[in-house]
Amino acid sequence: HETSIGFVLPESMPASLEVYDLTGRLIKAVDGSYVKGYNTIRIEKKDLNVSGVLYYRLRAGDYVVTKKMIVIE
């Protein structure tokens, strides 16, 4: 089981995705270099090892977004 988080970049650049639990504890971090246009980061459920409500933060250049996701058993 996995999920994909998609995002669009105006140019090729590094980006990072961090997944946190409700207490703010970092669960998973993914860093990489991504191309201009549409990209995806895949996260497998086994890598999270938790269920319930989590938050993820995507950073790329000056762009930062935080969103909620729910992991179901």
* CB-neighbour burial class of residue 53 (10 A; exposed 0-12, middle 13-18, buried 19+): exposed
Count of alpha carbons within 13 Å of 39, Cβ hemisphere only? 21
Q: Is the pTM of this model over 0.85?
A: yes
39-63 tens-digit pLDDT:
999 999 988 988 899 999 999 999 9
Range of the domain at 21: 2-71
Number of domains, the chain? 1
CATH code for the domain of 28? 2.60.40.1930
Per the CB < 8 A criterion, the answer to whether 56 and 18 are in contact is yes
